Amino acid sequence: MADAPRVGSVTQPPPVRQRILITGASAGLGAEMAKQWAAAGRDLVLCARRLPELERLRAEILTDHPDVTVLIRALDVTDAEAVDRVFRETAAELGGLDRVVANAGIARGGSIGTGATADNEATVQTNFLGVLHQAESALALFRAAGAGHLVVVASMAGLRGLANEITVYAATKAGVATLAEGLQAELWHSPITVTTIYPGYIRTEINANDPNMKWSVDKVTGSAAMVAAIEREPARAYVPTRPWAFMAWPMRLMPMVMFRKLAGY
């Protein structure tokens, strides 16, 4: 389930966000969301570290939807100056940005204390500090424009501490969800909205080797659920709704002995 939209009255739909910037757009959920928004006629800024993949994605989108605008930029979200430059330059080129989807993330890491420090730190840099950099730049633009929609992609993994190689990943997703909630509290009565998306298991490149993929869906189905939720602009949404909206509170509240069994430990 998702919170009701905060824009206007409960019967008034959110505005159409025409100009959408997506990070982590070269593959997986980011690329699939880009295709779905392009099919709806939205203009896009697609950012990722791998420029050749972005070029291929842009060519595919423009073949299918030649009337949309697609800008691409090589971007490492751990570089705060680069994030700010890309956001400002592309906003100037398009005449503004209406929505920023902070989707870039990695799932590297290992059990703490086993020598995986570098991978764990890289996950923190990308998944938490990278989102902070994007929020700083996006909200600076939205505050100046007097409107905008920031989307933070968290994870169902962020609802509870997880063990072994996913401990740090889960902690970063919990961190960005809390960051987004703080921004929601601050901006509640403003024309700027903030949404946190909690995807469940969606099969993409990032989790191709994960043997514990309960209730998983393919990336087209999962991305469609994410796009539909983002368009409603709730404070938070668990996607796909079934089963994840119904799992959220039990995951948070069940005793650790039960949660360990659910998680397969």
pLDDT tens across 140-198, in order? 999 999 999 999 999 999 999 889 999 999 999 999 999 999 999 999 999 999 999 99
Q: Do residues 201 and 214 touch, judged by C-beta distance below 8 A?
A: yes
70 backbone dihedrals φ, ψ, rounded to 5°: -130, 110
- pLDDT of residue 207 exceeding 80, the answer is no
The answer to whether residue 169 is catalytic is yes
The radius of gyration of the chain's CA atoms, rounded to the nearest angstrom, is: 18
Residue in 169, 198, 201, 238 annotated catalytic: 169
pLDDT digits (tens, 9 = 90+) for 221-255: 999 999 999 999 999 999 987 787 888 888 888 88
With a pLDDT cut of 70, the percent of the chain lying above it is: 91
Identify the H or E element spanning 181: helix 167-187
Tell me what pLDDT residue 205 has: 66
Return the percentage of the chain with pLDDT > 90, whole number: 75
Report angle CA 255, 259, 260 to the nearest 5 degrees: 120
Q: Are 163 and 191 spatial neighbours (Cβ–Cβ below 8 Å)? A: no
Query: Mean pLDDT across the stretch 44-50?
Result: 97
Stretch 97-122: mean pLDDT: 96
Q: What angle do CA 49, 53, 54 make, to 5 degrees?
A: 75
Q: Quick one: tokens of 226? A: 């994410």
In which residue are the tokens 């070029």 written? 55
